[in-house]
Amino acid sequence: MLFHKNYVILPCMKPQDKSHKEIQKILSRRGEDQIKSSITHEECEKIILAAANDMGVIRNGGRRGAAFGPSCITNAFKKFASHSKDNKKIQIFEVAGDESDFNQMQLQEIENIKKSLDILKRTHLCHLGGGHDHIYPLAMAIAESFKRKIHIINIDAHLDTRVDDFSHSGTPFRQLKINLKDQLRITQIGIQEISNVESNWNSIDMTVHLLSTLEKDFEHFNNLDLDLIDKILDIKNEELTIFSLDLDAIKGYEFSAVSAVNPLGLPLSFIHTLLSRYLSKVELKVVGLYEYNPMFDDLAAKDAKVCAELIKQSLQL
């Protein structure tokens, strides 16, 4: 027996118990019970689209690193224990284009996403950025593929409607409104006035729910009234609704690994409830997670695991 410095008695492992090679073999078998065993190259209902690119963030003056987000999130996701009784498979695609030309990259991503949607049996789609500029190619691909009016529920601290003469992570909804016009409806949730200049509000028809108003309506998020949440989400059957989460909408002390952290924000419990209500009301589930920056995560990759849990919820595993 060995004594630890904190007086905990530890059993001494005998060399003849298991060799290092045998232990590694045993550990490798644990993957059979993890979600990574469900990852496939075959066509299936549930897909993850990874956009490992943060050029839009850089063009917006943000901190580089979100390009590494999708791989960190999916690595954490694959390690989760699998409890799927029907052994549902999941495909993962890389959809970001060549970053040498930003505008061309967005067009290429639209085409890459459209190809992934060719399979009619898709039921769940999770899109991972990268910067929030990637919501633009996702929404355009959805609109062109399904020929239906699009409703985007954007959970965010920023409106992402900047008036600039070049595209970046702060312009996607102005770009979308210009392209889709009355075939797009936007609902903004969690917007912070301190994070948006006056011009962001100009010439864009959208429904905005400010963080300050939500705090009052939900009693500082101690009373998550589901009827009120449904009213805010305002999901209509004739529209195809996308759930877009810019992770800087979350309170900084709960989630800080983002391109632009905010001290105030929405609690994770509210995010999970919004997502749960969305998933219960739409047939095709399309969820985007953006702006996770692993460069600012902790050593335990806590925020990557938060994102991975949101993927698991989105894919209803």
DSSP readout, 179-236? HHGGGEEEEEEEE-GGG--GGGGTT---EEEEHHHHHHHTTTTT---HHHHHHHH---
Q: Report if residue 14 sits inside a domain.
A: no
Q: Report if residue 31 sits inside a domain.
A: no
d(C-alpha 89, C-alpha 247), whole Å: 26
Structural domain for 205, as ranges? 43-314
Q: Report if residue 143 sits inside a domain.
A: yes
| Cβ contacts of 181 within 8 Å, gap of 6 or more | none
Q: What is the pLDDT of residue 80?
A: 94
Q: Report if residue 305 sits inside a domain.
A: yes
Q: Report if residue 6 sits inside a domain.
A: no
Q: What is the pLDDT of residue 30?
A: 72
Q: Is the peptide bond before 288 cis (omega within 30 degrees of 0)?
A: no
For each of the chain's 317 residues, which pLDDT tens digit applies?
A: 444 555 555 555 555 577 878 888 777 777 678 998 899 888 889 999 999 999 999 999 999 999 999 999 999 999 999 876 566 899 999 999 888 899 999 999 999 999 998 776 889 999 999 999 999 999 999 999 999 999 999 999 999 999 998 999 999 999 999 999 999 999 999 999 999 888 888 888 999 999 999 999 999 999 999 999 999 999 999 999 999 999 999 999 999 999 888 889 999 999 999 999 999 999 999 999 999 999 999 999 999 999 999 999 999 98
Q: Report if residue 20 sits inside a domain.
A: no
Count of domains forming the chain = 1
Q: Report if residue 37 sits inside a domain.
A: no
| Cβ contacts of 126 within 8 Å, gap of 6 or more | 46, 47, 48, 49, 287, 288, 289, 311, 314, 315
Letter string b/e over residues 69-97, b meaning 16 or more CB atoms within 10 A of that residue's CB: bbebbbebbbebebeeeeebbbbbeebbb
Q: What is the pLDDT of residue 6?
A: 54
Residue 212 phi, psi (nearest 5): -60, -40
Indicate the DSSP class of residue 92: E
Q: Report if residue 107 sits inside a domain.
A: yes
Q: What is the pLDDT of residue 182?
A: 96
Specify the CATH number for the domain of residue 167.
3.40.800.10
